[in-house]
Amino acid sequence: MFFRSYIFVPLFLLSVGFDLTGVSASATAIQSRKDPQSSINRTIKEFLFATYSGNTAEYQKWILPEAGSDELITKRDYSDQELKDLRAEADSVNPQQVSPFTLNGNSIGDVSGEGFPAGTKAIYLSSFRGTLLAIPVVCTNTGWKVDVRFWVAARKQSHGSLKETDPEVVAKQFLFYVLARKPEKLQQLSASKINPEDYTAANNLPGGDLDQILSLCIEMSIVRAREGEGFRMPSGEIVRAGADKDTLVLVGLLGMAEVAFQVKRIGNSWKVVPQHYFEMLRRSGSI
């Protein structure tokens, strides 16, 4: 099987209660849109503390709703001192923005007045407890939330519950063969007739860099876009996830870069709408 499983290391440990500053949801949302950086920092700090301490109720307050998200939390007993240390460590993190603010595939700059609209997202990088974490965040009507769907997908991936024929695996295969410079493998995965060499010709990665990016590709978790969610493809086209069961929009997190795919059911198989992924990753500085 092309797809090999990786051990998913849980980031989240025990369950304990704690109080948050009491502010109304509407006031928090308005403030978070006008002052996004401090609001995002707070969201990430509270998210890290709630998830590592295992407080499920608080954890859910700081994430977008996602089926299976509670399964990321592993219960464990902490002493009062350990909780105090965990709180201090979470408060000390300094998340760094590593992707621009985007809305449905379009970059948006700093805004004033009402601030960022709901649906705006970005990726932040933070080191916590010896682990470097890429943390996607999304602006909602009730404030900024962490998007944990990639971690939920990573857990599913580590359990070996994906099949070779699943669209997520087919999409990953297409990207892998582009990055591995194996054009002979691409036509069988493509939703249209292509000249496969056109999709690998620009790939000049040296051996060491190539090995590293291929490892990231294999480890990359891929999720199905939420209905109505939009992404800019390498071609520049904006695609949106809809209700059509025979056309899916998928997105993976390759290191710190989102990679979007459109896949179509052709007969009994899923095929990828071909895109120049190497060139897109190179333009974004991801490789």
Residue-wise pLDDT for 148-157, tens only, equals: 999 999 988 8
Q: Is the pLDDT of residue 222 over 60?
A: yes
**Inter-axis angle of helices 36-53 and 25-34, nearest 10:** 120
Quick one: pLDDT at residue 114? 60
Q: Is the pLDDT of residue 2 over 50?
A: no
Provide the token pair at 226: 């939420």
Query: Average pLDDT of 89-111?
Result: 90
State the average pLDDT for the chain: 86
Q: 78 with 86: CB under 8 angstroms?
A: yes
Measure the CA–CA gap between 11 and 55, rounded to whole angstroms: 13
Share of the chain above pLDDT 70, in %: 86
Quick one: pLDDT at residue 22? 34
Share of the chain above pLDDT 90, in %: 72
Work out the number of other CB atoms within 10 angstroms of the CB of residue 182: 13
Provide the token pair at 44: 């990430």
> 3-class SS at 170?
helix
Provide the token pair at 101: 């603010």
166-216 pLDDT, tens per residue?
999 999 999 999 999 999 999 999 999 999 999 999 999 888 889 999 999
43 Cβ contact list (under 8 Å, min separation 6): 32, 62, 137, 143, 144, 145, 146
- Residue 108 — very low, low, confident or very high, per pLDDT cuts 50/70/90? confident
Provide the token pair at 244: 């059509």
Quick one: pLDDT at residue 284? 87
- Residue 255 — very low, low, confident or very high, per pLDDT cuts 50/70/90? confident
Quick one: pLDDT at residue 256? 86
Q: Is the pLDDT of residue 118 over 90?
A: yes
Q: 260 with 273: CB under 8 angstroms?
A: no
Sign of CA dihedral 197, 202, 203, 205: positive
How big, in percent rounded to 5, are the helix, strand and coil portions of the chain?
35, 20, 40
Q: Is the pLDDT of residue 16 over 50?
A: no
